[in-house]
Amino acid sequence: MLALKRSIYRFSEYLGRGLANSVDETLSAIKVITLVLGSLSNLTKKSKRQIFYRFFFSRIANVTTQIAPSVLILSLLITATIGFGFSKQASKLVEHDLLPILGMGNGYFFNIVAYELAPLLVGMIFITSSGASMTAEIAQRKIRNEFATFRSLGIDPVFLFLLPVLLVYPFLMVVSIIYFDLISIFSYHLSIGQLDLFYDKGYTYYFSQTLSEKGFIVSIVKMIFGGLIIAIISINHGTRIQMANSGLPIVISNSTASQLIFFVSINAIISIIGYLI
């Protein structure tokens, strides 16, 4: 009985600490968002806007280099593998009237991959390939006092270093999900031996029958919110670092874990809302 009470007490203590940390992180994230969005006013000035564009497009190039190969390889491998296995079972599915249209199975296969699996995979790629390194980069700038140095020179470091991050991630994640889906369509049809559908005059009608407009919109919304979450958490954890390099691994680990939890959660919430609408 005593052991049970101790277990309940420890669990309650752990849960309370976790909730307190979540609240503290949320409040800190709101403060960061307010600060970053406040720097948008600098875009009204042409001179500062030109400087911002350099950092913005440089950030796009860096993140694209980090994630593009992984998105390409995963989209090819996953859809080709599933398509190959699917084609082996196609005769049985048609025989039992479970697959009225070949190719993408009347849209069921593609909708599951494109609107549920693909957003999760793209998010995981961004978090592991870019989100963690972004947290480290921001934290190192904080450790080296670059933010204070730029402020002393009359330059807003939030505008140059953090605002591009907040804008780039949602944009690139939307581009990546479309890129993933296009590669998936090609890879899937190639693996089942129906690539000729792309050259058929009725391909527009075919895709209109197999693709879900609502599913596409839902996946785009997932990427916008997912990109914002990854950017906000990276910025929040990076700017909150207190110790020198000894605390950097902990910051990166905590940031990555938070990004994964919040990204998967927001994906699930958006999916549920999408199915209910």
- For residue 115, give the DSSP letter: I
Half-sphere exposure of 169 (CA within 13 A, CB side): 30
Residue 231 has a CB neighbour count (10 Å cut-off) of: 27
Banded pLDDT at 103 (limits 50, 70, 90): very low
- pLDDT reported for residue 173: 93
Contacts of 68 (CB under 8 A, 6+ apart): 176
Instruction: Tell how many helices (H) and how many strands (E) occur in the chain.
Output: 11, 0
- pLDDT reported for residue 250: 84
Highest mean pLDDT pick, 73-82, 108-117, 162-171, 240-249: 162-171
Determine the structural domain holding residue 245 and report its residue range: 2-276
Percent above pLDDT 90 for the chain: 17
Total domain count, the chain: 1
Contacts of 101 (CB under 8 A, 6+ apart): 209, 210
- pLDDT reported for residue 148: 85
What is the per-residue pLDDT across 203-238, written as a single tens digit (0 to 9) for each? Answer: 555 555 556 677 788 889 999 999 999 999 999 888
Contacts of 193 (CB under 8 A, 6+ apart): 87
Lowest mean pLDDT among 1-10, 23-32, 168-177: 1-10
pTM of the model: 0.80
The average confidence (pLDDT) of the chain is 77
> What is the CA 272 to chain-centroid distance, rounded?
18
CA–CA separation, 271 vs 152, rounded Å?
A: 46
